[in-house]
Structures are given as structure tokens and as C-alpha cells.
Amino acid sequence: MPAPSSILLSPDDNVVVATAAIAPGDRLAGGVTAVGRIDPGHKAAIRRIDVGEPVVKYGQAIGRATSSIAPGEHVHSHNLAFDQGRLAIGAAVPPEAASEADKARTFLGYRRADGRAATRNYIGIVASVNCSTTVCRAIADEANRRILPKYEGIDGFVPIVHDQGCGMSSTGDGMKNLHRTLAGYARHANFGGVLMVGLGCEVNQLTLYGQSGAGAEKRHFNIQEAGGSRRSVERALGILEEIAKEVASARRVPIPVSEIIVGLQCGGSDGLSGITANPALGAAVDILAAAGGTAILSETSEIYGAEHLLRSRAVNETVAVKLDGLIAWWEDYVAMHGASLDNNPSPGNKRGGLTTILEKSLGAVAKGGRSPLTAVYNYAERVTEPGLVFMDTPGYDPVSATGQVAGGANVIAFTTGRGSCFGCRPAPSIKLTSNTALYRAMEEDMDIDCGVIASGEATIADLGRGIFELIIETASGRKTKSELFGYGDNEFVPWHLGATL
């Protein structure tokens, strides 16, 4: 069968997107005939759209028609304009309810002493400050060499290191972000035990983090008190041997799928990302959220222009207002640095078929499916509400994913069109490609090929179900491609705010 030349992204859409050049007379996905040439990435109407009527793509309005548009006609800047009007809260069409079978699904995870669910069983070595990072790496290397072979039940010893912790104010947003992030990793369910190591004289003192942690006892010490770097490594190995004995006894048990928390990421996107991989991930999110699970949508700077459509899915005014506040903060933040969030489609974007900023942002927002927005969180804040939630993060993937994991994400799902290589230990990272050429070129790094949507071999719903199943398998212990290569030690990047002093 020849590949289809267009895709209907949502049953609610009144346009389709060309995946190949369409000539006049060609049949479109909606069953109508093209009345003119339509280039790849561009839109065509599949039913009449009157003046002032919303043009709907991804199941969301991307603007309004400025003239009457006939079925099969090209839809672009000449007959579509951005509409600043907001939709009412709750106006979005929700996805279908979960089946009883999906609600009853389980994965094989670790049940921690405090009741939380883990998808991996690591031990973390967390640096409080840049000055202790080299020692933490040395500790992890030695522990993986000398201790790990003794305990089959441990996934590994993970160094959590960074470039902050001193030379910064002890108060303000910068320290709050760093403290939330490190505290979130120290208590992360995927760490059965944690050792924190400081230098001793830094601003970010170990005493800020307390003594108790999830699972095995969390311990900490300073290099200056231990008597130096080599002595610190040997001291750490003695502590880690004790922790390992307890952590290794953990066994996987059936846990409701509702306790999976997935962080949603996209990076190295291309023209198909918003057409294949992102909507397919969104379909998986709808299944997970309806079954009681949680998905974290982030990257505030990359939803700009579509935030009012997310707002329309807010479950209440409090959630909507908090999202509004994040957008206002970002507008002020970038203005302080002489930048702007109002990145309207560039000439290149428009040549590729993007007409409005809504359409551009919706390509990223599509990862969140159509589920109601149940909560909004600050960066690295602990996520407690089920369903689709939003966390404030930059668009830079390592920083964004770090915040999601600190908030409790026990799986990451990451779409890419160019080939981003990424891991995020202690959370496994699933990679989804937007096109088949990339999957074939980098199959050793990529887990799912969503390009089969563009070729007509699968639907968005098909891939959504497949991604949902892979999330469960991954949560149950299946290694992702990034885990097999060893990604995840260098991608811990807390959001750096405030002055370096």
C-alpha cells in the first residue's frame, strides 16, 4: 500500500496535515479531494469552514478563518489568523474514560517503606556542592566496581553532581530551586538509599537536608571532616556497604499502574514531531491519566501561545490562575535579559506549514494529550496530584527533566526528530522518534519509531497504546536503549537562577 499523503491528527479536527506533496485531485485523509497543490507540512480543510469559525488541529483551535474555506482547500496565512481569545475553563473535549481493564493494570515495581512506588533500585551519591563532585564520582566508580558485583538486586550506584551549592545567595529563588531539586533526588523512590557528600564550608550545608530518607537510612558527611578526598572515598564505601545490604533485599511486586509518574520531554524536534511522536505520546498519556496515573508536562517557554488552551482544560480556577502566573513570570524574566517569549513562526516555520504561534506551541503541548489539567507545580516541587499536571521548567531538556525527576517522575518519555541522546538516572528514559529515517539511523539509541504514523502503518491511537505498554514494561524493569548505553550520570542539571557571587 502506498504511504498516505495526509494525516488527521484528531477526530475533532477540521483540517488534515500533508505528509507528502499533494496535487489537485488527490484524496485527503478526511475523504475529500484536494482542490489545489498542498506542500508537505501544510494544512487542508476536510469540511467547510466559515468566516470566523475556529480552525481545529490537534483537537484544539489554532486560529479563526478570515474567509470561507472549502473542503480540500489549502489552509494557511492567507485564510487563517491567530485569535487571542481564551476558551472557557473546562471547554476542551476530554478523552474517553479508561476501560476497567486499564484501571486494573499493574507493573512490577518496588514498594518502599513509606508506601511510594519505584521503577528502579539504585543507590545515590549526592553532592551538596560543586566542590564535592569529583569525590562523589570517585565514590560511585569504586562502589560500582567493588560493591555492586556482590548484590544482584541493586541497579547501580549513581553520582548526582552539579556546578552549584556555593558562590550564591543563601536565600532567594536560586537556593530554593537547588534545595528542592537535591531534596527531591535524595527522597526519590528509585533510590533505595542515598549518601550525601559535602565539602564542609559551602553555602548549601548538608544540615539543610536532615537525616532520614526513603528506604534505607540516608547518611551524609563532609570531605573536610573525613580528612580528605581518598579518606572520603574509603569512608563512603563502608557506609554504602551497609546501605547495599538493605537495598539489595528489595523485590519487585505488582503495583497499580496508577502509581506510574511519567515526565514528558521533547528535544531536537523536527517538522513531524507535532504530527507523529508528540500526539502519539499524548494518546498514551490519556490512557495513563484515565487509569489513575500521572504525567508531567513542562517546558513553560515552549507552551507560550498555547497556554490558554491548556488553561481551558484546568479542573478549577486555582489551577488556571497558577498557570497564568507562570506565564507572567516568564514574560518578566526574559524581558530582564532583553529577550522575548513571543516567538511567532519564522519564515522557515511558515514554509514548513506552521501558520500561528498556537499551532507551533501545540506541537509541543500535544504530548499532554487531551486530559484535564489537574495541578500546576513549581520547578522540582513534589508532584502529588494524579492525572495530567504541569511543572514550571525551562525548555532546555536536561534542566526540565531534572525538575520532573526531582518532583517524583519514575519514568521519562522523550520525543525527538533529530536524535537527542539522553538518560536521566535514577528514572529510565524512553526515546521516541518522529520519523523512521532517524529511527533506522540511530536504532541503538531509540526505543519506538513513531514515523510509522506518517507512513500509514499505524495510527496515533495504535502508537499511543504501544507507548503505554512500553511505559509499563519499562516501569517493570525492561532496560531502555539509553540505560543500556549508560546515559544518565551527566544529565542532572538543576535550574540555575540568581546571581553568581
The 10 Å Cβ neighbour count of residue 328 is: 10
Q: Measured between alpha carbons, how far is 112 from 384 in angstroms, rounded to an integer?
A: 16
Q: What is the pLDDT of residue 1?
A: 44
Q: How far apart are CA 284 and CA 467, in angstroms?
A: 6
What is the predicted pLDDT for the residue at 350?
A: 65
Strands laid side by side in the 429-433 sheet: 373-377, 387-391, 294-297, 261-266, 411-416, 429-433, 448-449
pLDDT for res 9: 84
pLDDT at position 171 over 70: yes
* Main-chain phi, psi angles of 445, to 5 degrees: -110, -15
> Would you state the pLDDT for residue 213?
41
- pLDDT of residue 216 exceeding 60, the answer is no
* Higher per-residue pLDDT: 410 or 21: 410
Distance CA 322, CA 330 (A): 13
**What pLDDT digit, counting tens, does each position of 108-163 carry?**
999 999 999 999 999 999 999 999 999 999 999 999 999 999 999 999 999 999 99
Burial class (CB within 10 angstroms; exposed 0-12, middle 13-18, buried 19+) of 385: middle
Query: Do 185 and 405 form a contact (C-beta atoms < 8 A)?
Result: yes
- Which cell numbers in the block locate residue 176? 530554593
Cα–chain center distance at 207: 31
Q: Determine which of 208-217, 343-352, 401-410 has the lowest per-residue pLDDT on average.
A: 208-217
Round to whole Å and give the CA distance between 92 and 101. Answer: 26
With 0-12 CB in 10 A as exposed, 13-18 as middle and 19+ as buried, what is 317? exposed
Q: Which of 194-208, 237-251, 354-368, 416-430 has the least mean pLDDT?
A: 354-368
Residue 215 has pLDDT above 50, yes or no: no
Q: Check whether 2 has a pLDDT greater than 70.
A: no
Name the residue with cell 476501560.
99
pTM of the complete model:
0.89
Distance, in Å, from the CA atom of 125 to the CA atom of 143, rounded to the nearest integer, reads 10
Instruction: Give the DSSP H or E segment for 389.
Output: strand 387-391
**Domains of the chain with CATH codes:** 1-84 (2.30.130.110), 122-247 (3.40.50), 254-485 (no CATH)
Backbone angles phi, psi at 298, to 5 degrees: -140, -155
What per-residue confidence (pLDDT) applies to 60?
A: 76
Residue 434 CA to residue 454 CA, distance in Å, equals 9
Average pLDDT taken over every residue of the chain: 90
Alpha helices (runs of H) in 187-228, residue ranges in sequence order: 223-226
Which residue, chain included where needed, has cell 559535602? 198
- Tell which wins on pLDDT, 212 or 144: 144
pLDDT grade, residue 237 (50/70/90)?
Answer: very high
